[in-house]
Structure 1
């Protein structure tokens, strides 16, 4: 492979990641239109890697390329929300069921430290960092069950979870505190080894997030 091909491949990947970050960070909002030219200027790249990146993002279902109209940032559909939360519920309730009998004290302490950091973001009014710790909390639960396939499946929707989390906060900023308190209840029941109650708390937590996204 030539140096030029390597450079072009790098630029395509860089453009893909940077445009996706703009969307995930809320700089490009679902429902917005943007042009290749604007993205090219914004990212200081030629249109070739931009176009390639947009094709990948369209394949991911994040944007739609509309001839003569521009690039449409896709809004979250009801089906997408339901599909992701159905997957989350299956994975995370399984994890909770297992952890209620196997979780170690050091793992409980690690989760408590994550929640401590998460609470600090409420006081600092930093929703982006709050959501990062939210994702870390859920990823840790999946990590602790020591099932690589399930962890990889959960990790595959991590970006969607971050994106959805930011959309939830846009709709309801008070959800930060509620979400934190729900995490505390999940952890409290896990620490007691109470399988049924911890599963119920997780189900409630996921359904509350889903309801806010759906506007219910």
Structure 2
């Protein structure tokens, strides 16, 4: 396999482990342990780490190792502030471009997934919900910015979302947003999104505050 392909393979594997919190925030990554799993030398792995550092997912500390970036109270506030500014704006201005067939399919699948009680699958479905909504905009810069924000937010949702009550509330809040969009009521959908993001922010702050 070419070095470029090995670098991308290393990047994808390591990033997934970080986003799923298999490599939890504040932990050091065992580089030696990755060599066999990825099937690559140190060079592609270190190149992947540099890319992940640029995305604020790891910190390369000379003579110490690779640290998975922590999630602070300030990080949570910044992430949700960004989302509360952009996502309701996209719903208000681009909601009419929504693919209602896709949204209806999503709604029906959500009922099945919530009943499965598969935590990781539910978090991934949650992430896909927000990515589906922002796909209505053709503004590549907004999509790129939110892509970076969502990567950070996945870790927060996995940590904070382990609260059963929050999972149930998220389910209800998503359905409320979906139903408003399907009814072409974009203003109420945007307001429901603000409420949903604020509730998620509070849940994340509560988790981090109680676990730092």
Bin for the TM-score computed over the shorter chain:
0.7 to 0.9
The 1:62/1:145 distance shift into structure 2, 3 A limit, reads: closer
The 1:67/1:203 distance shift into structure 2, 3 A limit, reads: same
1: distance between equivalents of 2:14 and 2:40? 12
Which structure is richer in relative contact order (CA contacts within 8 A, separation 6 or more)?
2
1:89-168 to 2 correspondence within 5 Å? 89-98=84-93, 102=96, 107-168=99-160
1:199 to 2:190 alignment: yes
2: distance between equivalents of 1:150 and 1:27? 29
Moved over 6 A (4+): none
Q: CA deviation at 1:109?
A: 4.1
Instruction: Give the structure 2 partner of residue 31 of structure 1.
Output: 26
1:208 to 2:199 alignment: yes
2:180 aligns with one of 142, 164, 189:
189
Q: TM-score, normalised by structure 2?
A: 0.83
Q: CA deviation at 1:35?
A: 2.9
| Superposition RMSD in Å | 2.5
Instruction: Give the structure 2 partner of residue 64 of structure 1.
Output: 59
Q: CA deviation at 1:208?
A: 0.9
2: distance between equivalents of 1:75 and 1:34? 13
Q: CA deviation at 1:136?
A: 2.2
Please state whether the residue corresponding to 1:65 is helix, strand or coil.
strand
Where structure 1 has 5 or more consecutive residues not aligned to the other structure, the ranges are: 1-5
Please state whether the residue corresponding to 1:29 is helix, strand or coil.
coil
The 1:10/1:146 distance shift into structure 2, 3 A limit, reads: closer
Aligned length in residues: 207
Q: Contact 1:168 / 1:213 at 8 angstroms: preserved in 2?
A: yes
Q: CA deviation at 1:195?
A: 4.4
Instruction: Give the structure 2 partner of residue 3 of structure 1.
Output: none
Moved more, 203-212 or 22-31: 22-31
1:47 aligns with one of 37, 42, 45:
42
